[in-house]
Homo-oligomer: A and B are copies of this chain.
């Protein structure tokens, strides 16, 4: 591998000058610049980001935690993060944790060692100490799409879950549904609890209580689209029809939700936009050497498709 020094020798200047040419950090004579640039081209020199990082004490890398990359919503989140980050010269280290605390810890350790400049959490285990571990070591963290937190050092980009649940329940209620169930992977999803809370609150307002899905529910609200789609599958394999026998609502509006054979009623949240925002906040905080304190709530819109209908007589 060619080094800065090699380029300097070839161009007949000092390493400092080469460094200045590359980073445009100081004045350098036109003629010298040309000579250095030629030397760079001839040697095919690529600056060593590792050495740079060591000296600069920044890795220009951020981490992102997703519970499941296979879920299109998280995939989109990851894509958005990757795009925004690389546009800013940051690399993205992805951890697919499945919300397993041990995997989360492994990721945290690896990232701390690699000195990531910040972390975006798209999902985590129920009582995860991931944020604390990172924050305590002065790594800025932003939560994307997974709700509030009581730690003021945490940045939050979220959608209005309570509002969404209210809209969903209103939609189902006005169709005539009174027996509503909620499905979610409680054990794992941190966000699940909060959506369930919003769901319960919206029910309570109408003097209803949630029931179990097997308890004759006429409508099922899922924690996200993939769970809704899986629920449809499960119901239909049991011989129940959606939406004739039971209505199903999702959350996220993944591209597939609009598919002709699915046509899932859901709530739209813009993963790409959220992740762009998250990266922006994170990078700015990292550069200024502080935590992200900003919080913002995105509006969501209910998209009624063909998995919701009046309950059977």
Interface residues of A (CB under 8 A from B): 1, 44, 46-51, 53-54, 59, 69-70, 72, 75-76, 78-79, 82-83, 86, 89, 91-96, 106-107, 109-110, 112-115, 137, 229, 232-233, 236-237, 255-256, 259-262
Contact = CB atoms under 8 A, between A and B. Distances in A.
A124 to B, nearest CB: 16
Contact of A50 (B59, B70, B137, B261): B59
B106 A49 contact: no
Contacts of A114: 49-50, 91
Given A51-B54, A233-B260, A259-B233, A113 B70 contact: no
A236 B258 CA distance: 13
Contacts of A70: 72, 75-76, 79, 255
B46 A50 contact: no
Contacts of A237: 260
B86 A49 contact: no
Nearest to A74: B75
A229 B54 contact: no
B236 A50 contact: no
Given A50-B50, A69-B78, A70-B255, 9 more contacts: A48-B113, A69-B82, A70-B75, A70-B79, A78-B94, A82-B94, A86-B106, A229-B256, A233-B260
Contacts of A75: 69-70, 75
A71 to B, nearest CB: 8
Given A115-B48, A260-B232, A79 B54 contact: no
Name the 3 nearest CB pairs between A and B, nearest first. Answer: A49-B113, A46-B112, A261-B261
A49 B63 CA distance: 15
A262 B50 CA distance: 48
A37 to B, nearest CB: 16
A223 to B, nearest CB: 18
Contacts of A259: 229, 232-233
A239 B94 CA distance: 42
A233 B93 CA distance: 35
A78 to B, nearest CB: 6
Contacts of A47: 113
